[in-house]
Chains A and B, each alone.
Chain A
Amino acid sequence: MDIKELFPPPQRLAPGQQERIRRVLLDEISRATASGRARRTGRRWWVIAAPATAAAAVTALAVTLAVLASAASPVIEGPAPRSAGTPPQAARQILLAAAAKVAQQHPGKYWHFSFTSETINISDSGGGPPVDQWVDHKGTWWTNPECKQGLTDGAVMYMAGGLSDALDTTKLTYNLVKHWPTDPAGLTARIASYDSAKNDDLAALAELETEVPAPPGVRAAAYRAMAALPGVQYQGTVKGGRTVYIPPRDGGPMVLVINPATGLIHAESWQPEPNITSVDTYLVAQWANHLPKVIPRNKYYCSRH
């Protein structure tokens, strides 16, 4: 059975049901208004129409386009084609060269990465705005769910950590990972012992390059561990880097686009399911020593009630 078949097709509320709830809400609203408990308004809702806001949106778009252009982000339309017969040596050379590059990184106070994420074949989940994240050595992180706002004024919203569970990469702090093995076999074994599910070691290796604030030696070891995987294939050059296909293991297959100049992953296409492809494009992945302006989380969007 396909996972998408697990859920039945959506149904609409019948007109009578919809009307009943509507009347419940109108009744509640009129009671609130009558008793002087009108809700605080004056904030924009989802329609961005005010002139000042429109200008901000244009600025945000311009900044976004500038970031996209400067990052020379690759364009991947679904999973990369499977070119048969490329020798694994080519892919291994790319991964080992990337390992040599990232081994020269100089960690700063914060790991800063920004990416766009697109899930293909899942209803209407198209690509959203870039997600911008900063993580310090202790694992405290800052993010920008409404990235347009942050890109406009260079600010990020503060969201303290403490949200992780045993399997989450958010728990993989720099202060923890810096003690991890820097040899590929040792690193792979460490990941397996850390991840009790043991079902996605490939994703863990890729995340060490992109989202986990890992020290240079560990990052290099992660690339070397990928190079040791059977069946890796070079699939050609696209805008932004060279593609390496890694066949399915316990998790789905993965295609990485690696920038040969920096050794960084520019994009990652992975298939958690045969019919589902995710494409993450990294606009930024770098160490930094200064945070942008931090916005108190309750000033904008706080989803935790």
Chain B
Amino acid sequence: MGSGHNQGMRAAHIVGDGQAAVAASARDRFSALYEQHCHAVYNHCFRRVGSWSLAEEITAATFLTAWRRWDTAPEAADGALPWLLAIANNMLRNTNRAQRRYAAALARIERPGVVADPAETVAARVDAERQMAAALPIMGRLPARQRAVIELCVGAGLTVSQAAAALGVPAGTVKSRLSRGLSRLRQELSRHELGQLDERT
């Protein structure tokens, strides 16, 4: 009985070690995922919302969701970023909800003390926000599906097949949406530039 008890304890100990090892391995792989793609996700979010601080929050929410959905992560290396951007798009569809959902997790970790960024970084961020403030209304005139493809292919630099994976549509659909979206965007840009010209004159 005593021996059986000891065997049971040993077995439990081995199982516990195994689980810990598995968890550590998952944590390491997830950390690598974060380090590799955090900037790409951050910039994708910025191109959607035009605010660096909001983009930071949505980036955090995206990776928190990615961890919670770890069992749905793709196996292929080139599937990782499309998977993350698909999650980010879901977060971006309702940023308020995403922020509410993750408010507690984000609040647990305080923002680091204010460390002044280099002046050129601050200037570049201000310029970028100004640029996106002008770009977002133009992008907003595109049908949502064409806009999503342009954001992924032109903005985030995904291939057609990666964008197809991120959006859950066939690659042929991505191609046609990209083609039509770029044509439409070109028209909108021309209209916008003509409008600016009219204002100046």
Q: Which residues on A sit within 8 Å (CB–CB) of B141?
A: none
Q: How many residues of A contact B (CB 8 A)?
A: 89
Q: Which residues on B sit within 8 Å (CB–CB) of A167?
A: 143, 176-177, 180
Q: Is A7's CB under 8 angstroms from B154's CB?
A: yes
Q: How many residues of B contact A (CB 8 A)?
A: 97
Q: Is B86's CB under 8 angstroms from A305's CB?
A: yes
- Give the complex CA separation of A250 and B19 in angstroms: 60
Dominant secondary structure at the B interface: helix
Cross-interface CB contact of B153 among A19, A125, A146, cutoff 8 Å: A125
Determine whether B98 belongs to the interface, using a CB cutoff of 8 Å to chain A: no
Q: Which residues on A sit within 8 Å (CB–CB) of B74?
A: 46, 146, 300-301, 303
Cross-interface CB contact of A29 among B30, B69, B83, B131, cutoff 8 Å: B30
Among residues of A, the one whose C-beta sits closest to the C-beta of B60 is: A21
Question: Which residues of B, 170-200, contact A by the 8 Å Cβ criterion?
Answer: 170-173, 175-180, 182-187, 189, 192-193
Q: Is B161's CB under 8 angstroms from A41's CB?
A: no
Q: Which residues on B sit within 8 Å (CB–CB) of A46?
A: 33, 74-80
Determine whether B96 belongs to the interface, using a CB cutoff of 8 Å to chain A: no
Determine whether A44 belongs to the interface, using a CB cutoff of 8 Å to chain B: yes
Given A24-B64, A46-B75, A169-B176, A145 and B165 contact (CB-CB distance below 8 Å): yes
Q: Which residues on B sit within 8 Å (CB–CB) of A1?
A: 189, 192-193
Determine whether A84 belongs to the interface, using a CB cutoff of 8 Å to chain B: no
Q: Which residues on A sit within 8 Å (CB–CB) of B80?
A: 45-46
Q: Is B52's CB under 8 angstroms from A11's CB?
A: yes
Q: Which residues on B sit within 8 Å (CB–CB) of A117?
A: 159-161, 171, 175
Q: Which residues on A sit within 8 Å (CB–CB) of B25?
A: 41
- Give the complex CA separation of A129 and B79 in angstroms: 12
Determine whether A261 belongs to the interface, using a CB cutoff of 8 Å to chain B: no
Q: Is A303's CB under 8 angstroms from B86's CB?
A: yes
Q: Is A45's CB under 8 angstroms from B73's CB?
A: yes
Q: Which residues on A sit within 8 Å (CB–CB) of B75?
A: 43-46, 48, 146, 300-301
Q: Which residues on A sit within 8 Å (CB–CB) of B124?
A: 9, 11
Determine whether B43 belongs to the interface, using a CB cutoff of 8 Å to chain A: yes
Among residues of A, the one whose C-beta sits closest to the C-beta of B115 is: A16
Q: Is A122's CB under 8 angstroms from B183's CB?
A: no
Among residues of B, the one whose C-beta sits closest to the C-beta of A250 is: B183
Given A1-B189, A20-B112, A145-B79, A14 and B165 contact (CB-CB distance below 8 Å): no
Interface string of B77-118 (1 = CB under 8 A from A): 111101100110010000000000000011011011001010
Q: Which residues on B sit within 8 Å (CB–CB) of A122?
A: 153-154, 157
Among residues of B, the one whose C-beta sits closest to the C-beta of A273 is: B182
- Tell me the smallest distance from the CB of B145 to a CB of chain A, in Å: 6
Given A8-B131, A18-B38, A38 and B161 contact (CB-CB distance below 8 Å): no
Q: Which residues on B sit within 8 Å (CB–CB) of A302?
A: 72
Q: Is A125's CB under 8 angstroms from B183's CB?
A: no
- Give the complex CA separation of A46 and B185 in angstroms: 35
Q: Is A127's CB under 8 angstroms from B159's CB?
A: yes
- Tell me the smallest distance from the CB of B48 to a CB of chain A, in Å: 11
Q: Which residues on A sit within 8 Å (CB–CB) of B125?
A: 11
Determine whether A190 belongs to the interface, using a CB cutoff of 8 Å to chain B: no
- Tell me the smallest distance from the CB of B150 to a CB of chain A, in Å: 8
- Give the complex CA separation of A17 and B57 in angstroms: 10
Q: Is A278's CB under 8 angstroms from B173's CB?
A: no
Given A4-B154, A165-B145, A199-B180, A131 and B164 contact (CB-CB distance below 8 Å): yes
Identify which of B59, B73, B132, B186 gathers the most chain A CB atoms within 10 Å of its CB: B186
Determine whether B135 belongs to the interface, using a CB cutoff of 8 Å to chain A: yes
Q: Which residues on B sit within 8 Å (CB–CB) of A179?
A: none
Question: Which residues of B, 37-62, contact A by the 8 Å Cβ criterion?
Answer: 38-40, 42-43, 46-47, 52, 56, 59-60
Given A13-B39, A14-B117, A124 and B157 contact (CB-CB distance below 8 Å): yes
- Give the complex CA separation of A305 and B28 in angstroms: 24
- Tell me the smallest distance from the CB of B101 to a CB of chain A, in Å: 12
Determine whether A136 belongs to the interface, using a CB cutoff of 8 Å to chain B: no
- Give the complex CA separation of A159 and B132 in angstroms: 35
5 contacts across the A-B interface (CB closer than 8 A): A7-B131, A19-B112, A43-B75, A169-B176, A272-B178
Show the binding face of A for B, using Cβ within 8 Å: 1, 3-4, 6-14, 16-29, 32-33, 38-48, 115, 117-119, 122-129, 131, 133, 141, 143, 145-149, 159, 163-165, 167-170, 197, 199-200, 203, 207, 211, 250-252, 270, 272-273, 276, 278, 280, 300-305
Beyond the given A43-B73, A129-B161, A272-B183, could you list 6 further A-B residue pairs with CB under 8 A, ordered by the A residue number? A1-B192, A42-B22, A43-B71, A46-B75, A119-B153, A163-B168
Of all A-B residue pairs in the complex, the 5 with the closest CB atoms, nearest first, are A123-B157, A46-B77, A8-B128, A39-B70, A304-B168
